[in-house]
Structure 1
């Protein structure tokens, strides 16, 4: 729903708005238009319902405090000089999601403000910080409307996970990373060395001390552990919640995740590669005291390359990909530099495009300056309209990988994924644990379609963009990393 806010004593403007909406087929008579004014109330009953008929509401004064309409999505503000508190409240009304979830569609997952009021815009940006960006519609240049690639989509069964493969992946991971084996006593000692807690009691952590600020991290507060006796009845709910959250990390439902945990740690469950042999009561304590460590372990195991098992990739659906005819372009209007990137496929693409990671900023500058680059396109990161490639985690969960860029250099198409760089000491700043898997499926895709590309990262020690095309390595000094400008000049 669109919320149109007009000034007081502006009957002429109100009539103009209603006349314009009528040309779009939106009127009070057909129920598409609602009016909420001090002297006029029309089509307001049930307006907050998701299936309500009205798509536009005209208001003047602040909407009642208790009013709640999550489907409000766009604010057209034709007022100015309003109270700051109400400004933020109004923005809050259009930031809610109608079904309390996102839809993997940028148009639906963002809210929009249309206004000439600079003071209001400044207030919103101050309140939302980096979450508030300028936006406009950009249109594809004619010469790129025929560019065609093949996009992959997940099969119809998108929620499939294989608990047995997940279990094997976890064991493979802990054997390689923690050096565990079938020796339960040694495993316990090694896990303790990695910070795992082995206590019969439950340990709760809190902070103690005095502070004059709510920012505990900036004050001299002490973290202390409070111990309480395990009661399986009392702590059973906590156990179920923790197991559920661990499973949520990989999309595994509670019953499967609980079975995995029991096979790994509970002596009552048979499993040839069991890590520990705890009493059932001890499993409660172990999970509750190490929930965050277990969550991290499970998440890492699903992406761990050495834990990769032989899997059958189900059939994926394929379709032609065309660069979208238009896009909602977001940028930082406060940036001092507003250069139009002429090589971008869209008319009016600015150097202040946001949000962008530092590797993306560097790569876009590189594309614009490289003589051999004829054009380039920034791919979206979710949605069927963008180029995607299917890959799997170690539980055979299908995921979609959206490469960052498509470029054309000397008549050849390159597909590029940018990642966090390497600092001056060579330490990796890539936080994506699935990068090796994405590299493999990208390489396979490029070979299948006769294209070029790879993973691009920045080397801070030389301030050079480097590309990995054949074998993925997390060592910038390895021969697998080449200077990008040597291939795309």
Structure 2
């Protein structure tokens, strides 16, 4: 299977991890932490794998190291190892080891040893079979190696160990676990988890080694669902005297059928799986003469006519119908389990979870909810733009609402507990909206266009044409002052170690003993890589600068290699030496100013490439915004009186910036029954809400703008407005949004209006122009583009 293409947020996370890793490595001390916090379903293992592999190719860092990847079960350890194999096939320089390789007695450079914590930290001697007992212990082996031997052997080679703790919130907080960490004594500890321990997170913050992936881009890329819809113990009481166990199952079964019908209507071969988690202490019911939950569920499903082959079971001593269960088109409809499927098992078609409360304990298994968070077809995410029901997970439980914890819970990821339906009879809208991804990363795009541009710039400076054979081209470079001899003697430093490539020139002078030697082939290539990186970093001309050097240096390297090969032939060691020797002349270098010019020459082409990519992406990700049948809200929203809202109920947060201003506008338009049919308060993120792309000129980034209000007027016009107060109305960001909104409205035609609305002098004003200016206390009185909102109602 080919390596999955990395998504933009994944690339960003890998770059951030690499940066903090190199920073931590330079510090004195040991067991230096890096915390990598990333939501369930975001591809944590994929990102970590690419990060580790990338350390083999850094231009500014090269150290003798090995890795221990440790997690809390054999299955997860092997699953992680197999993912490395899957991602990189035969293109991985790292050795992938398991407990079967312990007898090699050490970790070689770049090796990764995958281990289960319990094999080394268990209290029971028979479980921690990898640990070295005392010599008088009958379990001591005369031959063979132990875990301690591997650590000792690795250290004897002066090879540093990097400890990677997967699912770092589990199993590492014990005294025995810390003893193992102390014995390994790694240079760096990488904690990978969606829910880091507070102490680890705070220490990483203090050391500036905390890397976090936000939930929003993971949702936007179609990897995980937007929210969990919760039906809790309090909600179930509305079903009167009906057996609550059956109410839970009825609700779950009904929702599964609804999802199945929607997938079928879309032409999708996705069979939604309903998970049923039984109490871990289910047998307690047997002691009291009651039926166990397993018996209750099995009887219920049989009564509903569900065939045995449609039901899977995953218990420690009873596994049934599990083969192929994760496949989207698997015929199994229901999975009964206790804790076995809670962590580390992926089944993206799982969309409904019925969770029964523990009999004696209030313990809530948060990790189980992670099993219904994944989307079934991330590669086809745009197919789901107009299917909000399929972008949610559904939890039915007899736990109380306050006991329920959602994975990666944050302000934008609380469970949905309140609903508002669209009013009957209103005429809906159909507006273009987008969920565009980032297109500009501040880098040199990987393309043939850059290679050609670079070659043209270099050829132009040296006067090279297609008629110049290798020898003639080389002579033209010599005439410009390039030393084309292959000798590269260098004052190198013996008996010194270099950690910071950014201070390489300084270190050469200050450290060790000066020795004049010919550079080795390996050192020449490493120096060539480093100089490509350094050349980009040193650019001070704005038109030659590229902010994302991590993504750009290898592109510059490829273009430079291609051009050098056209001049000097295929011997890379030779032309590397010519290049390195010239660049190291600093201010006397011939190549340096030419490369700066080549970078400048490409800038206009880059902007054109980015704009073309932006337009294609907007076209591909543009879909329809309509008022949905129903919207869900979390517990912290409160209902507010309304008259003309498109929904039966109007929910709003109790406190947020701009709330008073927005409610003032709501109260105003609520009085305009003759002119306004309905209004809708737009959200500020997500595919269910209206989004307009705009260019943030301050940050020089593409972004999405969610205007506050959609209004249908009684004369058939549609209005889209964003309310600002006197302070926010003056910002450059508001100006950028106003320009984008005006352009968007104009494209829709004469039946559409919109703009920025501001309250001044007791009156609402609106600016619908493409040239936006606002000065508080002045513009609404002197600028004709500012109109009384009342004029829009006429």
Separation in 2 of the partners of 1:488 and 1:359?
24
Match of 2:503 among 219, 224, 228: 228
**In the alignment, what sits opposite 1:469?**
768
**In the alignment, what sits opposite 1:405?**
709
Q: Secondary structure at the match of 1:113?
A: strand
Separation in 2 of the partners of 1:2 and 1:141?
31
Match of 1:350 among 640, 650, 654: 650
- TM-superposed deviation, 1:126: 10
- TM-superposed deviation, 1:11: 4.5
**In the alignment, what sits opposite 2:413?**
131
Q: Secondary structure at the match of 2:593?
A: coil
Shift in alpha-carbon separation, 1:312–1:113, aligned structure 2, 3 A:
closer
Separation in 1 of the partners of 2:377 and 2:532?
27
Match of 2:381 among 103, 118, 124: 103
> 2:635 aligned with 1:333, yes or no?
yes
Q: Secondary structure at the match of 1:114?
A: strand
Structure having greater relative contact order (Cα 8 Å, sep ≥ 6)? 1
> 2:408 aligned with 1:118, yes or no?
no
Shift in alpha-carbon separation, 1:147–1:330, aligned structure 2, 3 A:
closer
Q: Secondary structure at the match of 1:408?
A: strand
- TM-superposed deviation, 1:444: 0.8
Shift in alpha-carbon separation, 1:389–1:92, aligned structure 2, 3 A:
closer
Q: Secondary structure at the match of 1:338?
A: strand
- TM-superposed deviation, 1:440: 3.0
Match of 2:741 among 432, 439, 444: 439
Separation in 2 of the partners of 1:357 and 1:456?
19
1:73-472 alignment to 2 at 5 Å? Answer: 73-80=351-358, 87-97=365-375, 103=381, 105=385, 106-119=388-401, 121-124=403-406, 127-135=409-417, 138-144=420-426, 146-149=427-430, 151=432, 227-229=502-504, 232-233=527-528, 235=530, 246=548, 267-268=593-594, 274=600, 323-324=626-627, 326-327=629-630, 329-335=631-637, 337-339=638-640, 341-347=642-648, 349-352=649-652, 358-359=657-658, 362-363=661-662, 366-367=665-666, 370=669, 371-372=671-672, 373-378=676-681, 383=687, 403-411=707-715, 413-418=717-722, 421-423=725-727, 428=731, 434-445=736-747, 448-456=749-757, 467-470=766-769, 471-472=771-772
CA RMSD between the two structures = 5.9
> Any stretches of 5+ residues in structure 1 without a counterpart?
165-224, 260-264, 277-293, 303-307
Shift in alpha-carbon separation, 1:6–1:17, aligned structure 2, 3 A:
farther
Separation in 2 of the partners of 1:321 and 1:391?
18
Match of 1:18 among 301, 312, 337: 301
**In the alignment, what sits opposite 2:225?**
none
Max radius of gyration: which structure?
Answer: 2
Shift in alpha-carbon separation, 1:81–1:36, aligned structure 2, 3 A:
same
- TM-superposed deviation, 1:475: 4.0
**In the alignment, what sits opposite 1:207?**
none
- For normalisation by structure 2, the TM-score amounts to 0.37
Separation in 2 of the partners of 1:53 and 1:241?
55
- TM-superposed deviation, 1:322: 7.8
Shift in alpha-carbon separation, 1:112–1:127, aligned structure 2, 3 A:
same
Shift in alpha-carbon separation, 1:427–1:362, aligned structure 2, 3 A:
closer
Alignment length (residue pairs): 375
Q: Secondary structure at the match of 1:467?
A: strand
- TM-superposed deviation, 1:398: 11
Decide whether the 8 Å contact of 1:359 with 1:421 is kept in 2: yes
- For normalisation by structure 1, the TM-score amounts to 0.55
> 2:336 aligned with 1:58, yes or no?
yes
Decide whether the 8 Å contact of 1:6 with 1:13 is kept in 2: no
Shift in alpha-carbon separation, 1:400–1:36, aligned structure 2, 3 A:
same
Q: Secondary structure at the match of 1:3?
A: strand
Separation in 1 of the partners of 2:593 and 2:661?
54
Decide whether the 8 Å contact of 1:3 with 1:75 is kept in 2: yes
Shift in alpha-carbon separation, 1:374–1:365, aligned structure 2, 3 A:
farther
Superimposed CA distance per residue, residues 136-166 of structure 1 (whole angstroms, 9 cap, x where no aligned partner):
564433311x435454789xxx9999x99xx
Q: Secondary structure at the match of 2:297?
A: helix
Q: Which of the two has greater helix per residue?
A: 2
- TM-superposed deviation, 1:113: 2.6
Shift in alpha-carbon separation, 1:124–1:18, aligned structure 2, 3 A:
same
- TM-superposed deviation, 1:472: 1.9
> Any stretches of 5+ residues in structure 2 without a counterpart?
1-272, 283-291, 445-499, 506-525, 538-544, 560-590
Separation in 1 of the partners of 2:293 and 2:696?
58
Shift in alpha-carbon separation, 1:124–1:443, aligned structure 2, 3 A:
closer
Decide whether the 8 Å contact of 1:103 with 1:109 is kept in 2: no
- TM-superposed deviation, 1:64: 5.7
Separation in 2 of the partners of 1:254 and 1:436?
39
Decide whether the 8 Å contact of 1:414 with 1:452 is kept in 2: yes
Superimposed CA distance per residue, residues 122-142 of structure 1 (whole angstroms, 9 cap, x where no aligned partner):
544995454213245644333
